Amino acid sequence: MTDKPQAYSAATEVSQIRERRTWVQIAKIELKKAPYSAWFGLIVIAIYLFVAIFAPLLAPHGEAEIFPASFAPWGGDFVFGTDQIGRDIFSRLIYGARNTIGIALATTLLSFAIGGSLGLIAAISGGWLDQLLSRFVDVLMAIPGLIFALMLLTIFGSSILSLIMIIAVLDSTRVFRLTRSVSVSVVVMDYVEAAKLRGEKLGWIMRREILPNIMPPLIAEFGLRFSFVFLTIAALSFLGLGIQPPTADWGSMVRDNASMIQFAKYDLTAALTPMIPAGAIALLTVAVNFVVDWFLHITSGLNDEH
């Protein structure tokens, strides 16, 4: 028997772990390959976030500061003119970014906290608890969301807190369904069984074993739910039942200035005034959808996603 110096050894190959990429490196690589639509979406979202965070520094006038000139034209001191009681539209647009995005973000986070944890609990425990939660969610989902929200707003009144609570609870039903359906297949994996057998607690299993494995669909869903919540709040505010004045908000700005569209023939800029906040809502949802599309594309490896 001759001793081969270059003998193959599985142990040595396994021990030579290639350096793992940090998530920053992965993000850089993916961003280089990202399509234009995703870049567009990311840049738009970044701009919105910047405006939302630095609103008081960017806005030339106060959020609810009233000037003597109502319905002032574009230009001069007021970039986009003033509204029906003389508030600067441009400043309200900037503050509106903060309020509208902030409230939608808080709502989405809350709905993920409720729906996500209940979904995980239902998937792990199974049995009667799973049945109870799932049937309850079925019943809640049988009522159209906007109608349910309108009904609850009648009872609890329109304050920002009740708006966030109501929409978060209604929206958490969809999060629950998704979380439950993706984690049901993870729960039966051997490593979860092993964790149970070595006596880990429910919270640990949820956090350390299941959550990392269901993250990609949940993140994509977060984007979709955010744009849905954002549109719902905008619609409610537009109907006059969401965010109440004097808080600046895009949905109610459209409602307040809508009549100016009738003057398009005489002064196009006046007619465009209500279109700016509406367009701002539309642009953000388009941007979020583009980014979610791209994210689904890279995480699922699918070429086609409906």
Partner 1 sequence: MHPILGTIIQRLLLGLVTLFFVSLIIFSSVEFLPGDFTQAILGQAATEDTVAAFRAELGLDKPAYIRYFDWIGAVAQGDLGYSFSGRSASGIDRSRAVVDLVAPRLGNTLFLAGMAAIVSVPLALVLGITAALYRNSFYDRSVNAVTLTTISFPEFFLAYLLILFLASLWPVFPSLANVNSETELIDRIYKCVLPALTLTLVIVAHMMRMTRAAIINLLASPYIEMSQLKGLSKAKVIMRHALPNAWAPIATVIAFNLAYLVVGVVVVEVVFVYPGIGQLMVDAVTTRDIPVVQACALIFATTYILLNLTADIIGIVTNPRLLHPR
In the complex, the residues that contact partner 1 under the rule CB under 8 A are 138-139, 142-148, 150-157, 227, 231, 234-235, 238-241, 251, 254, 258, 261-265, 271, 274-275, 278-279, 281-282, 285-286, 288-289, 293, 304, 306
Minimum CB distance to partner 1 smaller for 136 or for 204: 136
Cα-Cα-Cα-Cα dihedral sign, residues 204, 208, 213, 217: positive
Min dist. Cβ of residue 282 to partner 1 (A): 4
| Residue closer to partner 1, measured from CB, 240 or 246 | 240
Least Cα distance to 211 among 191, 186, 193, 189 occurs for 186
Tokens 């729906």, residue located: 115
Query: What is each CA distance from 142 to 83, 146, 179, 214, 258, in whole angstroms?
Result: 40, 12, 19, 26, 33
| Nearest approach, Cβ of residue 24 and partner 1 (Å) | 29
Q: Which is nearer to partner 1, 70 or 259 (CB)?
A: 259
CA separation for the pair 247, 230 (Å, rounded): 16
Residue 115 or 242: which CB sits closer to partner 1?
242
At 280 the three-state DSSP class reads helix
Amino acid at 296: L
Using an 8 Å Cβ cutoff, are 72 and 86 in contact? yes
> DSSP string spanning 249-266?
-HHHHHHHHGGGGGGTTT
Residue 90 CA to its chain's centroid (Å) = 25
CB of 51 to partner 1, least distance (A): 19
Which of 55, 254 has the CB closer to partner 1?
A: 254
Our CA angle for 190, 196, 201, nearest 5°, is: 140
Q: How many CB atoms lie within 10 A of CB 20?
A: 8
For residue 55, the minimal CB distance to partner 1 (Å) is 22
Is 113 within 8 Å of 225 (Cβ atoms)?
no
For partner 1, the closer of residues 183 and 227 by Cβ is: 227
CB of 283 to partner 1, least distance (A): 9
CB of 8 to partner 1, least distance (A): 41
Closer CB to partner 1, residue 97 or residue 210? 97
Instruction: Please answer whether residues 223 and 296 qualify as being in contact, where contact means their C-beta atoms are separated by less than 8 angstroms.
Output: no
Phi, psi of 16 (to 5 degrees): -85, 75
Nearest-approach distance from CB 253 to partner 1, in angstroms: 11
Closer CB to partner 1, residue 187 or residue 294? Answer: 294
CB of 139 to partner 1, least distance (A): 4
